[in-house]
Structure 1
Amino acid sequence: MRVLRDRQDYISAVQSYPPTDQPSLDWSSLGKLWDEWQIQCLMLVSFGLQVFLFFTAGMRRRSESRILRLLLWLAYLSADFVAIFALGHLALHANGPQHQLLFFWAPFVLLHLGGQDTMTAFSMQDNELWMRHLLGLVTQVTAAGYVISRTSWPDRRLLAAMVLMFLSGCFKYAERTLCLYKASPTSIRESSFASLNECAHSIAVGRDQWAYFWPHRLQEMLNADGRRPSSQMFDVDSSTAISLVSDTPVNDGSTMQAEHQDIQSLNKELKSSKDRCRVYDYVSPRLALIYERLYTKALLRYSIVHGVRRTRYDGDILLGVCFCCFVLCIPCYMPLLVYGLLLLFPLLSTMTALMLFKYVEKSQLYSRADVTVSYVLLIGAMILEAASLFICILSYSPYRDILYQSARKQWSEMLGQYNMTKSLTRQSILSFVPQRAAKHLDDNTSSITISEDLKKFVLDKLLDFGTRKEDWNFANFHGKLALGKWMDRHKHLVCGRLNSSINDLDLPTSVLIMHIATEILYFQDSESINSHKQTVKKMSRELSNYIMYLVFKCGVMLTARTEILHDKAQREMKRDLKGDNNICEKEAIMEVFESHHTNYYLRTPREQAADIQLLMDTWTSLHSPILPRACDVAQELIDIHREVDCWDLVSAVWVEMLYYIAPRCGGTFHSQHLSTGGEFITHVLHLMQLLGPFIPPPSA
């Protein structure tokens, strides 16, 4: 019996373990704690997201970092989600006498939904959905009004502070919706058409009004240092610049109205100047202003500032905004007062609300934590509004150099690169991932810093075209002019295969063939050459990789047929390499070359013409041999290179392709990449607008 009793005691002891006097995890109490403080946490998280967006949103214009882009995307989406979620909780769960102050936070949700001046949209798709934001404005303002109406607000000072913050929140939310509408593709097209009509009217009136701007532009280009242009001078170029992000880029009005000899003279003077590369510093700040128009509240701020300039006060904008504070009772300054209030209202309302809240009786009525959160929201909103106003005023005043220093780059200054050979030989950490998933995680692209040599080379070729009126249609060809001029100087050389690959095929197919041929020539040419030729050789490959990146990774002018040809060529190269990823690029491309150029001298002209016809035909081109054709072109270049250095020809063909692609990328491409670090081809397109009437008509 004793044994049985001991066993029962042991079982009871095991069942009662652990001892009852030790604390246990009470999930129900944690749930109650979260239910009590979740609104406070949501409001602080919402405010923190606004602070993060304010300080980091402008960085994406100068960086191509995917990590930064991901963080901004998460913050942008979370900011709206958290704010709306918090407003819903305020409407449903803000109860209790100690938590009546929570209703005061509803206007701050509207303030957060209005976003920061530094970021209204993450992408152009957000601008297209401006009507959704308009619907959100109506519904969220209604919800916030419902939350506010649930309490009696016995202290009139708190009621006044709440009304001011409610009006400020509605104002900020309406600002954001208006900016989204003005940056939508429909609105941009309307602005572009309006600018075209104005340009046509000015051409009909005469050229006298442009007499000042055309010669002055030369000095501005040569003296550019990357700083933001004055708003008066940007007004002249703004309609032209905005057409960059529309589907119909147009030439600058001054170039269309200028005399031909003036354009030629400008290009000659630029070409002879050692500081000619400063034109890139002239272009990049203007593209930065386009980014601000599309993705920030800069357009609305500029409209208000421009309104101040048009009033009777003609002084500095900084002094003008300050001056409007002292003329509240003078009727003749009412326009200035209206524009000043539009600019100052969010800050003034927040400051007034903070002062009113300070004198509200709080100690006995409201929770100390709620009071602290309210102060954080009020002071934080005031600081953000003051910082936004300070940046806005300085941006359009003579003191803007404080913000925009010449040493600060306006875009990433990186050049995207896609190399077929490198993509086959690189060792990817995603090799264990299924191929379809790995294609989205690793697109086999890289980036290099754009060199001054490449900038100078692209600009010099553009200026060369600008000095001869007969070459102003160079954007209609993707290598034909360069090849024709080179053949005129070397008539004893035969370039039949190269000529047919450039002139008889569409651009994506020509790019694919020329890229493979350039790779073969690059590694085949191992002779010691001078530094200039080495630079041209390096630039040719960089341009080749960049245009491959534009066409086959960004989808510029890419057709389904050429995409199939690219994938087919890639599979054939993998087959030639027998799946060996451990060899270097030179060995890989030379092995491909050896596999496909053996019959180079055996094909008759009729067979060669048949190959070209295969590539040109829509259906049979899906089965046409890209690699043999590319190897034929490479062999022809190698034969030419044995007699005359041909890197000048190759580089000229690639840069002409760049000029051909620039006006045909589409407005969506240019506008989208302004928010991801920028693209070099966008700068080239703007140069083509400013240096002459080089943009072809849409029909071309």
Structure 2
Amino acid sequence: MASLAAPISNKVKKIWDDWNLRSFIILSLSLQTFLILFAPLRKRTSSKWLIVPIWLAYLLADWSANFAIGLIASSQTNTDQGSPENGNLLAFWAPFLLLHLGGPDTIIAIAMEDNALWPRHLLGLIFQVVAAAYVFGMQFSNQNKLLWPTLLLFVPALVKYGERTRALYLASLESLKETILAVPEPGPDYAKYMDEYSSRKAAHLPIKIEIEEGRSSDSKNVTYRLGEGDVIDNITLVEGAHHLFQISMGLIIDLVFDYHQRKESRAYFIKLESGDAFTSIATELNFMYEALYTKAYVVHSKRGYLLRATSFIAVCIAFVFFYRIEKHGFHSFDVGITYSLLFGAIALDSVALSMLILSDWTIAIVYKFCKKSRAVTDLMKKYLEFKRSWGPTTTPKCLERTRKILFRRWCESISGFSFIDYSLRECGRSVRLRPGDRFGLVYLYHRFIRFLGHRYLQIIRFFGLKYLRDEMKYRSSKRLEEILWKFIFEELESKSEVVDDPKIGREICSSQGDWVLLKKYEKHPEYKNLLACFVDVTYDRRVLLWHIATEICYYSVDTGTGGDNRKYSKTLSDYMLYLLIMQPALMSSVAGIGQKRFRDTVAEANKFFKKRGLGSDVKLGEGKLREACCKLLDVDTGVKPVDVKGNRSKSVLFDACILARQLMKFEDKKKWELISSVWVELLSYAASHCRAHSHAQLLTKGGELVTFVWLLMARFGIEEDIQVLEVQARVKLIMNKQPDDFKNNWRTD
């Protein structure tokens, strides 16, 4: 039998052998450059078009560097590797790959779960260092012209890889618990006290017991407060956020503020305006993001600064060494790759240094030592003003674009998802053909387009991409307006004034819209009917019910003036439905069967709109949405939907129509005040009951308004588990008539 031909020709093998290592070296350097430049954008955008490439680059970066080190190690045992100079050059490349495995300062983890894998990175550090040392040992000789520069490069390589492993460890939940949990407090020595008490009582000595209340040792940690005459500026906000951030990290491991932390936080925030409070929270969340997903914790320390300076100097000296040596025997292309690696290492360290200088961490640290320097403080104030979300309106467009790309702390936008718009566009375009076109080209064309649409949906459902397609197609995004944040801030601030009573605090935190109805609209004729929408109604049902009712009221003919509350209601309504449907990981603890309820409601809406010829494949205008809402209001709802359909279907479409009719009986201004207040309560309930871990994860996707509300509620002390004042007793044993042996009172603290 004739032998089978090799599937890969010798020519292809030759190309692979010549270019495999060089290709992966270039790929590794390119990925490092991409990550250090674009990874910070994760906290500034929620766009999938940017987050997915960063995710791919993060995964490929480690793989390409590990693979390249393996190729270099295997080449050392290959007798056909070329000249000795070529082997020396390959050994010189090995520490560069270790440097790449250390990763850029801007990203150490994609998700919180990556931090828990720090033992894997530690093992990777050990094995890759051994492989690189093996490569270096194979080329260790006096004839190696690159001996000393290779040794120098091992210093920054070990520093960078060690920094990454330690940063992952410090950001893991186990390390956070060890760091944040308070020192165990055994209290006074009870056994010693009782022994003394018993001995004196047995001696029939007259004893008097006095108990004094003392402050807990934790109360001494209350160090950051604003005085009456203190000026609140951008530097003060950064300094305060840096202090409070160290307390807020406890929320990640599900701790609650103790009495003194809560008191300190409230005393600080109660003096801030809404815009300043937003800047403080944005800065605090920025600290939190960098502590969990970057090397900030490791770099921003005296040891970190020293190691970073040492690494940069070592790379520069290695570059001088390589520049000055005789390069006879080296391949010119390999020399070019080596220069690229050296220039790349210097450039990446320079970029990291500039980010280090411009970070909020540096501002908070430098300000402690430069408070008296007017020039430094003025410069920092101008720079921080540039980072504010709502800066001066006179900023040139080019500077505003630069700020959004490079300096803003979060995406500064709020997402939205409209049920009516989604239902109309998903049910498709209704085509009305004339009798003569029944078998003509127009009919065949529309049949063909509809067939392609069905096949397209079947394919994306098969691959599980329907959710991603809906998010990219139907999610809207608009800038978060300052007046909306001010409205949310004032609503929560008013509630913070009454949360000192634990019972009221629990009522406010557990309220899902019924608290504002009870406090402000108890005497309204529709109060009992509206209250029925809250009794025995799950959170996901309330959100969907009030969202559809809000849209019907918003697009109804009788919109009236409504004022700003009408805009607030629509924005928050769309945002809460977006969280419920498109952020299931965040809302899993409160969503219930929200996904099923939403799908059943969409199915009923599609059936309703198709029969009335209201479907459309394109983006809808307000006129089309108003027509759809009017059609819904035209339906007679004299009988409750559950009495007609039963409870197998979880649809709330016509229950929402009933709610909308009840809301329309309110005076227009009061109606929108009620709806907007209900949405703030629904938002705050989600913020306080979603897992802190999920809030931290959202920081890698541009951040969400619900996370800002979560931290604002914590700062105002609005929480279900309110701790009372911690008191440490001081006990005195005093004898009325003391013998000479006991001249001093005995005290235990």
Shorter-chain TM-score: which interval?
0.7 to 0.9
Count of matched residue pairs? 603
Q: From 672, 679, 703, give the equivalent of 1:647.
A: 672
- Please name the residue that 1:52 is paired with: 34
Q: Secondary structure at the match of 1:174?
A: helix
**1:223 aligned residue:** 233
| Separation (CA, whole Å) in 2 of partners of 1:218 and 1:689 | 26
Separation in 2 of the partners of 1:653 and 1:543? 10
Aligned match of 2:391: none
Alpha-carbon deviation of 1:185? 3.0
**What are the residue-to-residue correspondences of 1:439-454 with 2, within 5 Å?**
439-443=467-471, 444-454=474-484
Gaps of 5+ in 1: 1-25, 306-337, 615-619
In the TM superposition, what is the alpha-carbon distance from 1:208 to its structure 2 partner? 6.0
**Which amino acid is 2:615 matched to?**
N
2:509 corresponds to 1:509: no
Contact 2:46 2:701 in 1 (8 A): yes
Indicate which of 34, 38, 41 corresponds to 2:20.
38
* 1:629 Cα offset (Å): 2.2
Q: Deviations over 1:490-548 (max 9, x none)?
A: x141222321222422211111111111111212253432xxx3321111011111111
Q: Relative to structure 1, is the Cα distance of residues 229 and 203 closer, same or farther in structure 2, using a 3 angstrom cutoff?
A: farther
Aligned-partner Cα distance in 2 for 1:478–1:648? 16
Q: Is the alpha carbon distance of 1:463 and 1:89 closer, same or farther for their aligned partners in structure 2, counting shifts above 3 Å?
A: same
Aligned match for 2:315, one of 346, 350, 367: 350
Q: Is the 8 A contact 2:590 2:686 kept in 1?
A: no
Give the structure 1 partner of residue 552 of structure 2: 520
SS at structure 1 position matched to 2:666: helix
Partner residue in 2 for 1:425:
424
2:457 to 420, 431, 434: 434
- Give the residue type in structure 2 aligned to 1:457: F
Q: 370, 374, 381: which one pairs with 2:345?
A: 381
Secondary structure of residue in 2 paired with 1:528 = coil
Q: Which amino acid aligns with 1:96?
A: G
Equivalent position of 1:250 in the other structure: 256
1:682, CA displacement in angstroms?
1.2
**SS of match in other structure, 2:567:** helix
Report the equivalent of 2:331.
Answer: 367
4+ runs of 1 displaced by more than 6 Å?
195-198, 427-430
In the alignment, the residues of structure 2 paired with residue 455 and residue 291 of structure 1 have an alpha-carbon distance, to the nearest angstrom, of 22
Letter in 2 for 1:38: N
Equivalent in the alignment of 2:410: 411
Provide the secondary structure at the position in 1 that maps to 2:256: coil
Partner of 1:172: 160
Q: Deviations over 1:396-415 (max 9, x none)?
A: 23468399542232111111
Tell me the residue number matched to 2:117.
Answer: 129
Matched residue type, 1:298:
A
Q: Within 5 Å, which residues of 2 pair with 1:27-426?
A: 29=11, 31-93=13-75, 95-97=81-83, 99-100=86-87, 101-155=89-143, 158-194=146-182, 204-205=216-217, 207=219, 210=222, 213-216=224-227, 222-224=232-234, 229-230=238-239, 233-234=240-241, 236-246=243-253, 248=254, 250-251=256-257, 254=260, 256-257=262-263, 267=270, 270=272, 275-302=273-300, 304-305=301-302, 341-363=306-328, 365-393=329-357, 395=359, 396=362, 397-398=366-367, 401=380, 405-408=384-387, 409-426=408-425
Please give the secondary structure, in 2, of the residue aligned with 1:415: strand
Say whether 1:599 aligns with 2:634.
Answer: no
CA distance in 1, matches of 2:330, 2:237: 49
In 2: Cα distance, 1:218 partner to 1:682 partner: 31
Give a deviation string over 1:432-460, Cα, whole Å, max 9, x none: 52252433323332212111221111011
Assess if the C-alpha contact under 8 Å between 2:242 and 2:284 holds in 1: no
**Per-residue Cα deviation, 1:652-678 (whole angstroms, up to 9, x for no partner):** 111011111112221232111111111
Offset of residue 283 of structure 1: 1.4
Distance 1:423-1:49 versus aligned 2 partners, 3 A rule: same
Question: What letter corresponds to residue 345 of structure 1 in structure 2?
Answer: T
Partners of 2:174 and 2:281 lie apart in 1 by 25
- Using the alignment, how far apart are the partners of 2:337 and 2:519 within structure 1? 72
Deviation at 1:574, TM superposition (A): 0.9
Instruction: Note the 1:539-558 alignment, pairs <5 A.
Output: 539-555=568-584, 556=587, 557-558=589-590
Cα root mean square deviation, aligned: 3.4
TM-score, L = length of structure 2: 0.73
What residue in structure 2 maps to residue 684 of structure 1?
A: 709
Distance 1:376 1:549, change over 3 A: same
| Letter aligned with residue 475 of structure 2 | T
CA contact (8 A) 1:183 1:293 kept: yes
CA distance in 2, matches of 1:251, 1:196: 17
Shift of 1:394: 5.4
- 3-state SS of 2:346 partner: helix
Corresponding position: 1:460 with 2:490 = yes
Residue 410 of structure 2 aligns with an amino acid whose one-letter code is: W
Distance in structure 1 (CA, Å) of the matches to 2:651 and 2:20: 64
Deviation at 1:693, TM superposition (A): 1.7
Counterparts of 2:679 and 2:24, CA distance in 1: 54
Instruction: Report the residue type matching 1:165 in the other structure.
Output: L
Change (3 A) 1:208 1:111: closer
CA shift in 2, pair 1:205/1:92, >3 Å:
closer
Task: Please report how far the alpha carbon of residue 461 of structure 1 lies from its aligned counterpart in structure 2 after TM superposition.
Answer: 0.6
3-state DSSP of counterpart to 1:412: coil
Task: Report the Cα offset of residue 351 of structure 1.
Answer: 2.1
Aligned with 1:416: secondary structure?
A: strand
TM-fit CA distance, 1:67: 1.2
Answer with 670-679 or 580-589: which moved more.
Answer: 580-589
Cα distance in 2 for partners of 1:209, 1:38 equals: 58
CA change 1:515–1:192 in 2 (3 A) is: farther
Q: Which has the higher mean CA deviation after the structures are superposed, 451-460 or 170-179?
A: 170-179
Residue type of the alignment partner of 2:248: A
Note the C-alpha offset of 1:648. 0.4
Distance 1:476 1:203, change over 3 A: farther
C-alpha separation in 2, matches of 1:67 and 1:370: 35
The equivalent position to 1:694 in structure 2, one of 713, 718, 723, is: 718
- How far apart in 2 are the matches of 1:622 and 1:257? 49
Q: Deviations for 1:17-44, whole angstroms, at most 9, x for unmatched residues?
A: xxxxxxxxx9755652442233223212
The alpha-carbon deviation at position 298 of structure 1 amounts to 0.3
Cα distance change, pair 128–403 in 1 and its aligned pair in 2 (3 A)? farther
Q: C-alpha distance in 1, partners of 2:626/2:661?
A: 16
In 2, the alpha carbon distance for the partners of 1:104 and 1:263 equals: 57
Any idea what the Cα deviations from partners look like across 1:143-173, whole Å, max 9, x if unmatched? 2222222224434662222122123212211
Asked if the contact 1:256/1:693 (under 8 Å) is kept, the reply is: yes
Distance 1:340-1:243 versus aligned 2 partners, 3 A rule: closer
Which residue among 554, 560, 563 is the counterpart of 2:595? 563
Looking at secondary structure, tell me which structure has more helix per residue.
1
Distance 1:413 1:218 in 2: 31
Per-residue deviation, 1:585 = 2.1
Give me the whole-angstrom Cα distance separating, in 1, the residues matched to 2:51 and 2:552. 36
Cα 1:166–1:698 change in 2 (3 A) is farther
- After TM superposition, give the deviation of residue 209 of structure 1 in Å: 5.3
Per-residue deviation, residues 289-310 of structure 1 (Å, max 9, x unmatched)? 11111111001112x23xxxxx
Identity across matched positions, percent: 29
- Match in the other structure for 1:21: none
Task: State whether structure 2 residue 614 is matched by structure 1 residue 576.
Answer: no
Instruction: Please give the alpha-carbon distance, in whole angstroms, between the structure 1 residues aligned to 2:647 and 2:382.
Output: 55
What does residue 670 of structure 1 align with? 695
Q: Is the 8 A contact 2:156 2:311 kept in 1?
A: yes
